[in-house]
Amino acid sequence: MLPPQGPPLRGVVFAQPVTGSLHGRDGSLAGATYLAGVSLETTDTPSKVKAAVRLTAPETPALVRHHRRNLGDPTYRVILTGLAVLLPLLMLAVAGQLAISAAPALKKFGFNFMFTTTWDPVAEVYGAAPMIFGTVVSSLLALLIAVPLSLGTAIFLTEFAPRWLRQPIGFLVELLAAVPSVVYGLWGVFVLIPLLRTVAVPPLRAVLGWTPFFKGVFYGNSMLAGGVILAIMIVPYIAAVSREVLLAVPSSQREAAMGLGATRWEAVWSAVLPYGRAGIMGAIMLGFGRALGETMAVTMLIGNRHDLGASLLQPAYTMAAAIANEFSEATTPMYLSALFAVGLVLFVITITINALARLLVWRVAKGAAVGSKAL
């Protein structure tokens, strides 16, 4: 239906001396110089645009010569390129330093470092399996709790909440992200753990006590407490990003679904959420990444025990917590190296998960694009 010249052009209308440029959104016509002019959005016909181009043409040779002598642009490009390269280099430097410092421990323990459970600084035997397990499980537990909570909040705020309520609730949810980690930890020790002990765990145990996940004596500091505090801490990230994603879903999606006779719930479930799933997946992965690296609140609640067990009621450990706890008193070179190795493992796990998330988002985004075409 549309004429084949592509997207509408942004034109520049010039005063004397007549110079300037025209460029489409795809940059195809970009070039020449950027002297004064009046910019306007135009959907002018191609012939008019061409006229404007022709108008500028006779003036260009002198300006091009001037342009060549100008060192500004190349310098600008070099600086920006440098800045852009600097960050990946920094990351490589961090990875390299971690690997070098971790080398003695990795050489001594090899791959067993990741699969053995003994962490004994006196005998200098180090195995990080309980910490790796604890990091992943506590973060997954946090997602299990946080995803429904934050998605529910986001959907309520964009689709169901009365207008006057949206701002205050949205603000309060985002405020959760501003609370310092150590405050969550304190709150966890003095409020959350007693609450878990008296209110949450007895019924959980009554119903699910037969599973391996709720066995053993519950003292408070445990995988469960760590997971719950992490969930509360990542809710604002997932909720805020999901809300933005849902807000960006065109209302034509909702209207179309409602027009087909869908209820509001059906419209959200079948039209709005699928449209935004790439973004929502990204939000969840952002939360997961946060949970993996969180340190202070977790170490105050998880029990800091190098132990591998299925029960959520037992104390556990995370990699970040162990590094923070043990680094300052790691007096022997091998101990220090083992902690660096833990840091390296954490680094690799976080990067892998982020890469997987990126892949997932790309794939889902492709699917969504196909889906939207089909609509």
Residue 208 beta carbon to another protein: minimum distance, rounded to whole angstroms: 21
Q: Give the interface size with another protein as a residue count (CB under 8 A).
A: 31
Cα–Cα distance, 292 to 298 (Å, whole number):
10
Among candidate residues 138, 174, 140, the one with its CA nearest the CA of residue 284: 140
Residue 316 beta carbon to another protein: minimum distance, rounded to whole angstroms: 9
Is residue 244 close enough to count as binding another protein by CB under 8 A? no
Q: Are 134 and 317 in contact (CB under 8 A)?
A: yes
Is residue 305 close enough to count as binding another protein by CB under 8 A? yes
How many helices and strands, by DSSP H and E, does the chain display? 17, 5
Cα–Cα distance, 115 to 354 (Å, whole number):
23
Residue 158 has, within 13 A of its CA and on its CB side, a CA count of 25
Residue 109 beta carbon to another protein: minimum distance, rounded to whole angstroms: 15
Q: Looking at beta carbons only, is 39 or 117 nearer to another protein?
A: 117
Q: Are 119 and 130 in contact (CB under 8 A)?
A: yes
- The string over 69-84, giving b where at least 16 C-beta atoms fall within 10 Å of a residue's C-beta and e elsewhere, is eeeeeeeeeeeeeeee
Among candidate residues 339, 296, 341, the one with its CA nearest the CA of residue 321: 296
Q: Are 214 and 203 in contact (CB under 8 A)?
A: no
Residue window 165-204: x/- pattern of binding to another protein, with contact defined by CB under 8 A: ------------------------xx--xx----------
Q: What phi-psi label fits residue 31: left (phi over 0), alpha (psi between -120 and 50 degrees) or beta?
A: left
Cα–Cα distance, 250 to 278 (Å, whole number):
15
Is residue 221 close enough to count as binding another protein by CB under 8 A? yes
| Only segment of 48-56, 165-173, 300-308, 360-368 that touches another protein (CB under 8 A) | 300-308
Cα–Cα distance, 234 to 301 (Å, whole number):
16
Among 56, 299, 311, 337, binds another protein (CB under 8 A): 299
| Only segment of 63-71, 85-93, 168-176, 219-227 that touches another protein (CB under 8 A) | 219-227
Is residue 101 close enough to count as binding another protein by CB under 8 A? no
Among 2, 83, 84, 123, binds another protein (CB under 8 A): 123
> The tokens of 349 are what?
């796990």
Q: Looking at beta carbons only, is 240 or 298 nearer to another protein?
A: 298
Q: Looking at beta carbons only, is 45 or 118 nearer to another protein?
A: 118
> The tokens of 161 are what?
């909440």
Residue 337 beta carbon to another protein: minimum distance, rounded to whole angstroms: 14
Residue 223 beta carbon to another protein: minimum distance, rounded to whole angstroms: 11
Q: Are 321 and 299 in contact (CB under 8 A)?
A: yes
Q: Looking at beta carbons only, is 239 or 297 nearer to another protein?
A: 297
Q: Are 295 and 346 in contact (CB under 8 A)?
A: no
Residue window 329-348: x/- pattern of binding to another protein, with contact defined by CB under 8 A: xxxx--x-------------
Cα–Cα distance, 213 to 141 (Å, whole number):
12
Cα–Cα distance, 348 to 327 (Å, whole number):
19
- Both ends of the chain: CA-CA distance in Å? 18
Q: What phi-psi label fits residue 261: left (phi over 0), alpha (psi between -120 and 50 degrees) or beta?
A: left
Q: Looking at beta carbons only, is 191 or 248 nearer to another protein?
A: 191
| Only segment of 76-84, 212-220, 284-292, 352-360 that touches another protein (CB under 8 A) | 212-220
Is residue 118 close enough to count as binding another protein by CB under 8 A? yes
Among 101, 325, 350, 354, binds another protein (CB under 8 A): 325
Is residue 119 close enough to count as binding another protein by CB under 8 A? yes
Residue 135 beta carbon to another protein: minimum distance, rounded to whole angstroms: 15
| Only segment of 16-24, 71-79, 85-93, 322-330 that touches another protein (CB under 8 A) | 322-330
Q: Looking at beta carbons only, is 160 or 219 nearer to another protein?
A: 219
| Binding footprint of another protein on the chain (CB under 8 A) | 118-123, 189-190, 193-194, 217, 219-221, 299-300, 303-306, 315, 321, 324-326, 328-332, 335
